[in-house]
């Protein structure tokens, strides 16, 4: 099912998942920066198959029970919508790299 952009944003906004692990936060940060599974595998020194499995599990965890297909391409959008709540660890990782402050919208502080 293809969701309208408006519906996708509403669904993503409503899907809060707290207590993400360090690995999950790292994956979200690397996806946010635009890395694909093969590149993430090199960065974290794991096989591409392992990264694909981790991304599939993370997609399922974050998007289960919604109308959004649990596929990794929606993780970046979910991360953006939750930088100030569920993905604070991801925001801190991005801040440390000097990227989050330039990506946040005006008036939006990443804590």
Sign of the Cα torsion 87, 91, 97, 100 reads positive
In a domain, residue 108? The reply is no
In a domain, residue 45? The reply is yes
**Per-residue pLDDT averaged across 45-73, rounded?**
93
By the 8 A CB rule, do 3 and 67 touch?
A: yes
Q: Which residue in the block uniquely carries the two structure tokens 């809060």?
A: 16
Length of the chain: 111
Q: How confident is the model at residue 99 (pLDDT cuts 50, 70, 90)?
A: low
> Which pLDDT belongs to residue 6?
95
Count of domains observed in the chain: 1
Note down the domain range covering 10: 5-103
């Amino acid at each position: 099912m293809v969701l309208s952009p408006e519906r996708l944003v509403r669904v993503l906004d409503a899907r809060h998942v707290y207590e993400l692990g360090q690995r999950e936060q790292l994956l979200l940060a690397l996806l946010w920066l635009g890395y694909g599974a093969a590149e993430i595998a090199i960065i974290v020194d794991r096989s591409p198959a392992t990264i694909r499995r981790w991304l599939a599990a993370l997609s399922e965890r974050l998007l289960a029970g919604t109308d959004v297909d649990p596929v990794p391409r929606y993780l970046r959008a979910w991360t953006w919508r939750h930088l100030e709540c569920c993905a604070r660890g991801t925001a801190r990782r991005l801040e440390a790299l000097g990227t989050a402050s330039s990506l946040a919208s005006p008036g939006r502080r990443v804590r």
